[in-house]
């Protein structure tokens, strides 16, 4: 032990090590031809501040990156900014700051805060999606997809503010009203740009099967979102119609009288149909509304309620009889009435259903309300009948009341019904998807301009590649509602690239999910002239470990998977799946504190006391008593955040890094507590004391040397497995135990302790990298622990040198003894016979030993009589 132990001072050590890394360009990606590993955390939106909640995500990525580097991989670990989007425009509107200035200022601030954390990021690859160098490349591939037919225009629905005369983003609609005008927002159809994600619906589902390093729940969420369903399209001919619907002229199509197309997943229940129901905005409903004021009123009333599936699910079932009857496809003599109903979505299937009240709850509710017949056609196996009261029977069973389907199981009947429909031309088997094409148009300024020009003569014209990027103009104002690009005096007026005539630019910008759908590919060569340098992408993709919040389980990940496929098909990439491994982390939560007037108070301004188990809080600055509130996700609005700078100043970044990973498994939330960080900080000191006290020339006790060596290899194994399996908390628990072992073995020799401490420095390096470097230097190493190889586990060294041998008497286990591995059989025999349990047993049975068989290191068999 050294004579005068020094205290570890993170405030000097951490900047010292960070300066060393910076000077050595230590985190610039090495590409030496070794196996590669790409670690990526979902890049942040630059809202302004990083807190320890965000930090946990990046620290996890850093643990992986440093571990893989130590294992000898060439590691890519970049960082950038998802920088377009509404908050920048809101800041501009509220505070008169330009979105660009606001965004880049925030980026500068957040970059500085992230750097405090000592993350092994390759900052030389940094970019923001609002850099023209980035979004210009996005425009280039957007046009490539346009040429390939994956981009198209059609009418889409937008939120329209009738007072401000502008389109509103979803987040600008508050309780159905415009955020600024307070006017009731209307739905409007507007010509917009769409990406044909539905072309890939099946492939996106198929691909999920290959993602064996994704959480099962995320794969399920994606599958449900795509929503593949197998069923049938059924056509129903008119039997009766109101006179005002024009009769069909011979041989010509007549949209008011064409057979009504219905989509069903239950063609087996066709004989139970008692009505058809159309969506309120189905073309036929609208045609009838033109002649029937009551139907027109119904349509209008439906337009006022929400159109989301959840809204519709909640609303009371309402309908109106349209005065039409259609023929049953399996029994032309039978006809059923056609209604319009509010629970039928115009955007799913064909916007029309047949109602089978016996076996569908919504249909049953509707039938009971409007007194329509209920004809059950499925009964549970073995049952005579099925009673339908207020609950539909949706279970399995056999078909009855159904002519040629009688006696078949539900599945058999589906197949048979489809075969009959196809044979008679009244329908066909169909697969449909819930997934819709991706509407990417936003009527906003702070986004990637869509590189299109509209010409009166030529129509839609691409901006030629040599005129990219189409750069956002800076001279815009936000004092008037609406899209500044629309009212900009010059920006949108250009010569048509094709004919030279006066033309206008597209003023819609792209959904920011487009920006984040390919950034991981751009990181592989962020300055490439092409959108993607294929060689670099082939070298680094797929991302081996992607880490981020589960809130992105559906849209971001689905869009990224789609764009990766689209770009691969365009020859720009070779992979189909961008993220081979995905980890969704838990959050950092923190207690909240409020004053009597309801104001939130920052933890730094709170003094906590605990009197006989009763906790109370006082505001330091005012002396006021505070209410201790719920434990919530760290967020600015609750003021319950802890900033990296605070941690650096109080306990050091390493303690903060260690703590956010130590207290619960990475996929779960962790509660930030002052006590927790202090504990981590004490551990940092304890580790330093071990290094500080190291004396390489110390003589030692050989027994302790052997024991320490064994414990070292046990620790290597356990920590490696913890890191590898994303169980960082258990890896840290092992490190705590290993440190305790090192303290217990203070009589080990200098060389044994060197070996143990060398392993310790490398094992803690992913978690507390600054401390690890300091310790490494203290051992006399000249290089950086960052570049030291991960310690290799040697199973022979870790093997326990004692074995437990069961003792059997006449084939039954009656006890056990612990012996040194490889012990002499006569010694084992003597020990077994002397075993008190064995002796007591023999005595109780009145038996004595006839024979002893020792299987070395395995078992002792005794034959007694």
**274 contacts ligand ANZ (rule: CB under 6 A):** no
Q: For Zn ion, give the closer residue by CB, 496 or 786.
A: 496
**329 contacts ligand ANZ (rule: CB under 6 A):** no
**348 contacts ligand ANZ (rule: CB under 6 A):** yes
Q: Least distance in Å: CB of 386 to ligand ANZ? A: 12
How far is residue 355's CA from residue 274's CA, in Å, rounded to a whole number? 6
Name which of Zn ion, ligand ANZ, none residue 353 binds, using a CB cut-off of 5 to 8 Å depending on partner kind.
ligand ANZ
> Are the CB atoms for 770 and 18 separated by under 8 Å?
yes
**359 contacts ligand ANZ (rule: CB under 6 A):** yes
Q: For Zn ion, give the closer residue by CB, 394 or 460.
A: 460
How far is residue 453's CA from residue 473's CA, in Å, rounded to a whole number? 16
Q: Which residues here bind Zn ion, judged by CB under 5 A?
A: 455, 457-458, 496, 498-499
Q: Least distance in Å: CB of 236 to ligand ANZ? A: 12
Q: Least distance in Å: CB of 56 to ligand ANZ? A: 38
Residue 487 burial (CB count, 10 A): 13
Q: Least distance in Å: CB of 296 to ligand ANZ? A: 21
**Helices and strands, number each (H, E), in the chain:** 27, 36
Closest CA to 799 of 816, 822, 828, 827: 822
Going edge to edge, which strands form the sheet with 319-328?
Answer: 238-240, 319-328, 331-341, 275-278, 352-355
Please enumerate, by residue number, every residue annotated as part of a binding site for ATP: 636
Q: Least distance in Å: CB of 498 to Zn ion? A: 4
Closest CA to 260 of 156, 388, 353: 353
DSSP string, 171-205: GGEETTEETTT-PBPEEEEEEEEEE-GGGGHHHHH
DSSP string, 528-558: -SSSS-HHHHHHHPSBSEEEE-GGGTTHHHH
Q: Least distance in Å: CB of 110 to ligand ANZ? A: 42
Cα atoms in the 13 Å half-sphere on the side-chain side of 521: 31
Secondary structure of residue 700 in the 3-state scheme:
coil
Q: In this chain, which of 97, 173, 205, 345 binds ligand ANZ, going by CB under 6 A? A: 345
Would you call the peptide bond into 364 cis, given omega within 30 degrees of 0 as the criterion? no
Q: For ligand ANZ, give the closer residue by CB, 36 or 328.
A: 328
How far is residue 535's CA from residue 458's CA, in Å, rounded to a whole number? 37
Q: For ligand ANZ, give the closer residue by CB, 373 or 464.
A: 373
Taking contact as CB under 6 A, which single stretch among the options 163-171, 265-273, 379-387, 805-813 is the one that binds ligand ANZ?
Answer: 265-273
Residue count of the chain:
865
Q: Least distance in Å: CB of 550 to ligand ANZ? A: 24
653 Cβ neighbours under 8 A, 6+ residues apart: 10, 14, 116, 117, 118, 644, 647, 770
Q: In this chain, which of 71, 229, 664, 751 binds ligand ANZ, going by CB under 6 A? A: 229
**144 contacts ligand ANZ (rule: CB under 6 A):** no
Structural element, H or E, at residue 831: helix 825-834
**Paired residues of 324 in beta bridges:** 338
Cα atoms in the 13 Å half-sphere on the side-chain side of 103: 23
Taking contact as CB under 6 A, which single stretch among the options 156-164, 258-266, 313-321, 831-839 is the one that binds ligand ANZ?
Answer: 258-266
Q: Least distance in Å: CB of 374 to ligand ANZ? A: 11
**157 contacts ligand ANZ (rule: CB under 6 A):** no
Name which of ligand ANZ, Zn ion, none residue 359 binds, using a CB cut-off of 5 to 8 Å depending on partner kind.
ligand ANZ
Total residues at interface with ligand ANZ (CB under 6 A): 16
**351 contacts ligand ANZ (rule: CB under 6 A):** yes
Name which of ligand ANZ, Zn ion, none residue 664 binds, using a CB cut-off of 5 to 8 Å depending on partner kind.
none
Backbone angles phi, psi at 428, to 5 degrees: -160, 160
Q: For ligand ANZ, give the closer residue by CB, 30 or 228.
A: 228
**354 contacts ligand ANZ (rule: CB under 6 A):** yes
Closest CA to 238 of 251, 255, 222, 224: 255
Q: For ligand ANZ, give the closer residue by CB, 354 or 491.
A: 354
Name which of Zn ion, ligand ANZ, none residue 499 binds, using a CB cut-off of 5 to 8 Å depending on partner kind.
Zn ion
**356 contacts ligand ANZ (rule: CB under 6 A):** yes
Q: Least distance in Å: CB of 430 to ligand ANZ? A: 10
Q: Which residues make up the interface to ligand ANZ (CB under 6 A)? A: 229, 263-266, 269, 344-345, 348-349, 351, 353-354, 356, 359-360
């Amino acid at each position: 032990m050294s004579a005068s132990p020094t205290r570890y001072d993170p405030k000097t050590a951490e900047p010292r090590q960070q300066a060393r890394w910076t000077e050595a360009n230590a985190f610039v990606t090495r590409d030496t031809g070794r196996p590669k590993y790409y670690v990526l955390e979902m890049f942040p939106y630059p809202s302004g501040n990083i807190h320890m909640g965000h930090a946990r995500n990046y620290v996890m990525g850093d643990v992986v990156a440093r571990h893989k580097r130590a294992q000898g991989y060439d590691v890519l670990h970049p960082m950038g900014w998802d920088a377009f989007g509404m908050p920048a425009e809101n800041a501009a509107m509220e505070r008169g700051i330009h979105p660009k200035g606001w965004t880049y200022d925030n980026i500068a601030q957040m970059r500085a805060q992230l750097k405090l954390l000592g993350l092994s990021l390759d900052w030389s690859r940094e970019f923001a999606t609002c850099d023209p160098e980035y979004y210009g490349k996005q425009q280039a591939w957007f046009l490539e997809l346009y040429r390939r037919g994956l981009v198209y225009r059609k009418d889409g629905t937008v939120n329209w503010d009738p007072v401000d005369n502008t389109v509103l983003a979803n987040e600008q609609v508050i309780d159905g009203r415009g955020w600024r005008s307070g006017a009731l927002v209307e739905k409007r159809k507007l010509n917009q740009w769409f990406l044909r994600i539905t072309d890939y619906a099946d492939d996106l589902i198929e691909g999920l099967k290959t993602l064996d390093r994704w959480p099962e729940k995320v794969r399920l969420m994606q599958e449900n979102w795509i929503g593949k369903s197998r069923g049938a399209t059924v056509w129903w001919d008119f039997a009766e119609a109101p006179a005002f619907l024009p009769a069909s002229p011979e041989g010509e199509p007549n949209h008011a009288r064409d057979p009504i197309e219905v989509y069903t997943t239950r063609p087996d229940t066709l004989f139970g149909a008692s009505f058809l129901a159309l969506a309120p905005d189905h073309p036929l409903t609208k045609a009838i509304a033109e002649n029937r004021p009551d139907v027109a009123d119904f349509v209008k009333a439906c337009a006022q309620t929400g159109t989301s599936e959840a809204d519709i699910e909640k609303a009371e079932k309402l309908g109106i009889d349209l005065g039409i009857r259609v023929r049953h496809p399996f029994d032309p003599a039978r006809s059923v009435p056609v209604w319009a109903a509010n629970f039928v979505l115009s955007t799913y299937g064909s916007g029309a259903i047949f109602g089978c009240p016996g076996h569908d709850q919504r249909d049953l509710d509707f039938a009971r309300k409007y007194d329509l017949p209920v004809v059950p056609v499925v009964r549970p196996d073995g049952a005579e009948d099925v009673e339908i009261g207020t609950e539909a029977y949706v279970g399995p069973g056999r078909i009855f009341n159904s002519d040629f389907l009688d006696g078949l199981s539900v599945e058999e009947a589906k197949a048979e019904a489809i075969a009959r429909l196809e044979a008679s031309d009244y329908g066909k088997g169909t697969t449909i998807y819930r997934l819709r094409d991706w509407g990417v148009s936003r009527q906003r300024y702070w986004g990637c301009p869509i590189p299109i020009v509209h010409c009166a003569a030529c129509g839609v014209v691409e901006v030629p590649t040599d005129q990219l990027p189409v750069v956002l103009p800076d001279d815009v104002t936000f004092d008037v509602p609406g899209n500044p690009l629309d009212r900009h005096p010059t920006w949108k007026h250009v010569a048509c690239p094709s004919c030279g005539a006066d033309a206008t630019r597209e003023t819609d910008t792209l959904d920011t999910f487009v920006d984040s759908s390919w950034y991981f590919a751009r990181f592989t060569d962020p300055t490439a002239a092409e959108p993607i340098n294929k060689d670099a992408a082939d070298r680094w993709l797929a991302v081996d470990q992607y880490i981020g919040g589960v809130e992105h389980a559906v849209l971001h990940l689905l869009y990224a998977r789609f764009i990766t496929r689209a770009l691969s098909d365009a020859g720009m990439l070779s992979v189909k799946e961008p993220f081979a491994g995905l980890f969704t982390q838990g959050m950092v939560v923190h207690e909240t504190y409020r004053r009597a007037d309801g104001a939130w108070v920052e933890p730094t301004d709170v003094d906590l006391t605990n009197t006989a188990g009763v906790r109370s809080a006082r505001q330091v600055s005012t002396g006021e008593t505070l209410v201790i509130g719920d434990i919530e996700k760290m967020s600015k609005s609750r003021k319950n955040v802890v900033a990296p700078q605070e941690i650096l100043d109080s306990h050091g970044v390493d303690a903060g890094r260690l703590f956010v990973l130590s207290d619960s498994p990475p996929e779960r939330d962790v509660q930030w507590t002052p006590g927790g960080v202090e504990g981590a900080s004490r551990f940092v000191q304890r580790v330093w004391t071990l290094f500080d006290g190291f004396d390489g020339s110390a003589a030692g006790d050989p027994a302790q040397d052997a024991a320490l060596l064994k414990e070292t290899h046990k620790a290597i194994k356990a920590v490696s497995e913890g890191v590898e399996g994303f169980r960082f908390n258990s890896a840290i628990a092992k490190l705590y135990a290993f440190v305790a072992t090192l303290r217990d073995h203070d009589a080990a020799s200098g060389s044994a302790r060197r070996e143990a401490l060398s392993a310790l420095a490398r094992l803690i390096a992913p978690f507390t990298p600054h401390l690890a470097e300091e310790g490494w230097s203290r051992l006399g190493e000249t290089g950086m622990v960052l570049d030291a190889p991960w310690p290799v586990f040697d199973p022979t060294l870790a093997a326990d040198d004692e074995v437990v041998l069961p003792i059997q008497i006449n084939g039954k286990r009656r006890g056990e003894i612990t012996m040194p591995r490889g012990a002499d059989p006569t010694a084992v025999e003597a020990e077994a016979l002397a075993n008190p349990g064995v002796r007591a047993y023999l005595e109780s049975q009145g038996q004595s030993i006839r024979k002893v068989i020792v299987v070395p290191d395995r078992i002792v068999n005794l034959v007694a009589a």
